[in-house]
Amino acid sequence: MSYQNPKVAEVADVLKRRFAELENKADILKAVELKALYAEIPTLPPEQRASFGKEINSLKQELQELVAKHQEQAEALPPIDVTAPFDVNTPIDKRPKLLPTEHGSKHPLTTEIERITDIFYRMGFEVVESREIDDEYHMFTALNFPAGHPARDDYDTFMTVQKDKNDHPLVAPAHTSTMQHRVLKAYKERLEKGEPIAIVTPDRVFRNEDLDATHEHTFHQIEGIYVDKGVHAGMLIATLKTYLNEYFGENLEVKLQPFYFPFTEPSFELAVERPAILRKDDSEEQKWLELLGCGMIHPNVLKMAGIDPEVYTGFAWGQGIERMVMMKNGIEDIRHFQSGKLEFLRQFV
Ligand code: FA5
């Protein structure tokens, strides 16, 4: 738009240039130059006032239209996903489209680990995190697996090319029992003070397994360690039963059968009744789901950590978490947990 009055034309020019740079475009309507033009009207000879006033009104209207147009354009622009990679020089209509967003939620295993550790916390246990890379000493030697013992092969352990200071490959822990030696050593002072060692250590573990509905290569375990004077197997059973009943909210049928682990003596396997959804047939074999390994900590394991097995005894257990969560929620295949399938995960929100 062109203005006849040179003053209005000059202010129009100044304000339009300023408009382009303003962050809040509506501020242009409050410009002092515009106010000054209005203030000039009464100072003019009466015959000029009408045409001057009309021109200022036109300028104000033009500015109002500019503000309205800008607002319209801003609302019509698609929002930009600031995390999407694109060259800043890419025109807006060629930039990647914003992905639909929604709130995420905790993975069901995280929720369950928190629930389990909370139960143990209320039972007087402390939580110590395990680790996801370890060495041969903590995986085998400190757990009373003699060098070359065939039981080492039972653990299908992934090993790295990188070696430790004893020239043994580092390992991806195949069970959370790798924490036993560390926990016993770190907390043995408690025993001297007359307090028990009562620790649980949850984490991921890894095994070179053949995969099926109940076997994963990467799964979670929670290890429990309890040491004091006069600890016996009855206390182990009572602790695990209390925990399982609290977790499932009912009195469960459990079965304890003798087993072999080099680091516990005697050793047991605790099984719970397998829910129908996980049962292929009515055979006795299909009836039970092995839930955890446990036993009285082997005297050699205590000795290696500097604890006198003549004075102190203790129990330990290692439990697979996925299988228990499956049982509680009627999940038919362990592989769902790591599938990343949203339709699976959304059922636990
Ligand atoms: C152990 O890992 C021993 N460290 C347990 C232990 C700890 C015994 C302390 C004594 C004292 P096992 O290999 O049986 O034991 O595994 C323990 C549990 O992990 C199993 O009962 C099962 O619930 C779970 N588990 C084992 N392999 C897999 C797998 N491939 N996928 C999912 N869960 C598994």
pLDDT tens across 11-70, in order? 999 999 999 889 899 999 999 999 999 999 999 999 999 999 999 999 999 999 999 999
Closest by CA position to 205, among listed 174, 235, 184, 160: 174
State the distance from the centre of ligand 1 to the C-alpha of 319, rounded, in angstroms: 6
Q: Would you say residue 177 has pLDDT above 70? A: yes
Q: What are 218-229's pLDDT values in tens digits?
A: 999 999 999 999
Please state, for a pLDDT cut of 70, what percent of the chain lies above it. 96
Say yes or no: CB of residue 296 within 6 Å of ligand 1.
no
Closest CA to ligand 1's atom 2: 175
According to the model, what pLDDT value does residue 148 have? 85
Q: Which residues of the chain does CATH 3.30.930.10 include? A: 108-348
State the distance from the centre of ligand 1 to the C-alpha of 181, rounded, in angstroms: 18
pTM: 0.73
- Cα 51 from Cα 57, distance rounded (Å): 10
Length of the chain measured in residues: 349
For domain 108-348, the CATH superfamily is Bira Bifunctional Protein; Domain 2 (3.30.930.10)
- Cα 8 from Cα 16, distance rounded (Å): 12
The dihedral through the CA atoms of 290, 174, 151, 295 has a sign that is: negative
- Cα 253 from Cα 169, distance rounded (Å): 42
Say yes or no: CB of residue 130 within 6 Å of ligand 1.
no
Q: Which atom of ligand 1 is nearest to the CA of 315?
A: 11
According to the model, what pLDDT value does residue 78 have? 65
Q: Would you say residue 240 has pLDDT above 90? A: yes
Say yes or no: CB of residue 201 within 6 Å of ligand 1.
no
Say yes or no: CB of residue 240 within 6 Å of ligand 1.
no
Beta-sheet strand order (sheet of 218-228): 126-127, 197-206, 218-228, 313-320, 288-297, 264-273, 254-261
Say yes or no: CB of residue 262 within 6 Å of ligand 1.
no
Closest CA to ligand 1's atom 29: 215
Say yes or no: CB of residue 322 within 6 Å of ligand 1.
yes
* Best probe residue, ligand 1, of 206, 292, 335 (max atoms within 8 Å of C-beta): 292
Which of the four pLDDT bands, split at 50, 70 and 90, describes residue 278? Answer: low
Please state, for a pLDDT cut of 90, what percent of the chain lies above it. 71
